[in-house]
Amino acid sequence: MLGKCFAMDCHVLEPLIDLRGGGTSLTPKRAKLLQALESEGSISAAARAIGMSYKGAWDTITALNRLLAQPLVTTETGGSGGGGARLTDAGRRVLAFHQALTVLQQRLLAGLDGSADHASLDQLLERLGNLMLKTSARNQYEGTIHAIQRGAVNSEVILDLGGGDRLVAIITNRSVDDLGLREGGSAIALVKSSFVVLGAPGVRTSARNALAGTVLSCQEGAVNAEVELQLSGGRRLVATVTNESVKALDIREGASLLALIKSSHVILAVAV
């Protein structure tokens, strides 16, 4: 359930979004904690960043993990350092949803004086719809279409993910029209983890997309390993590679790598 309240100070309306579920809620302050956890990677650092006590941050995480049927945050016991923490896929989506709702409400309130841009409001509503898209692809990124370059049969679509990261997709002109893609519009980029090739920084490749990142984790299985990178723009990306590749590239936490993705392996989607 979504609850809304407004605080008035000197005739200025400030929107506050409160997402409720599981007997708890995601308030603006709690959303700031999630955002800090995403960037800081530890409970203690995130708490300091927003002026919250460590105990308060821990209690908040415990409460937020009851918001949905799946946790928003995973934690690791850490001793004097306070322990590590990271957002799950569900946590990142809920945070993005909260942030998009907040921006949308701010735009709507700005329209009280007649200055609202209907086109920008429509775009925000479109982005909210895209955030609800559910797929089996391990990597899913909502972004803004930076450019569309049409060819005779196919189009090159450049999706801005924010923070300097961009993904290029090659799709048919028919798909561009059927999806209603346009510059400045919103879309979702889907990339299977098995389509991501990892390489050392500076490697020369024909892949259209080469995203720089830092290894957050590497979990080896019987044959393959799941490697999670944090991209330079803040997004996270998962690649499935062989255990032999892990050894050959010396993949370990903190290492710098390039995520290489062919433009033909990027699938674009929009909410309907």
pLDDT digits (tens, 9 = 90+) for 81-114: 555 788 988 888 888 888 877 776 766 565 544 4
Q: Is 48 in the same domain as 152? A: no
User: What is the average per-residue pLDDT within 233-247?
Assistant: 92
Q: Is 261 in the same domain as 149? A: yes
- Is residue 125 in some structural domain? no
Look at residue 7 in the predicted model and tell me its pLDDT: 43
Condensed to tens digits (0 to 9), the pLDDT of residues 137-178 reads 778 888 889 999 999 999 999 999 888 899 999 999 999 999
CATH code of the domain in which 41 resides: 1.10.10.10
73: Cβ contacts below 8 Å, ≥ 6 apart: 34, 37, 61, 64, 65, 85, 86, 87, 88, 91
- Is residue 14 in some structural domain? yes
pTM of the model: 0.58
CB 43 within 8 A of CB 76: no
Beta strands in the chain (DSSP E): 2-9, 12-21, 24-26, 73-76, 84-87, 139-150, 154-162, 165-172, 186-191, 197-199, 209-220, 224-231, 236-242, 256-261, 267-269
Is pLDDT above 50 for 197?
A: yes
Q: Is 195 in the same domain as 66? A: no
Residue that terminates a domain, selected from 46, 65, 96: 96
Is pLDDT above 90 for 69?
A: no
- Is residue 108 in some structural domain? no
Instruction: Look at the chain and report how many structural domains it folds into.
Output: 2
Q: Is 60 in the same domain as 171? A: no
Give 258 or 6, the one with higher predicted confidence: 258
Q: Is 76 in the same domain as 155? A: no
- Is residue 66 in some structural domain? yes
Q: Is 87 in the same domain as 163? A: no
CB 75 within 8 A of CB 102: no
Residue type, 160: D
Residue that terminates a domain, selected from 47, 69, 96: 96
Which secondary-structure segment (H or E) carries 118?
helix 118-131
- Is residue 194 in some structural domain? yes
Which token pair is 243? 């255990």
191: Cβ contacts below 8 Å, ≥ 6 apart: 137, 138, 139, 140, 141, 167, 237, 261, 265, 266, 267
Q: Is 247 in the same domain as 174? A: yes
Q: How confident is the model at residue 3 (pLDDT cuts 50, 70, 90)?
A: very low
Condensed to tens digits (0 to 9), the pLDDT of residues 6-63 reads 443 444 555 577 888 888 889 989 999 998 998 888 899 999 999 999 999 999 999 9
Q: Is 255 in the same domain as 175? A: yes
> Which of 253, 212, 258 shows the shortest CA–CA distance to 41?
253
Length of the chain (residues):
272
CB 110 within 8 A of CB 251: no
Give 129 or 50, the one with higher predicted confidence: 50
Look at residue 20 in the predicted model and tell me its pLDDT: 84
Q: Is 90 in the same domain as 146? A: no
- Is residue 106 in some structural domain? no
Domain hosting 239: range is: 135-272
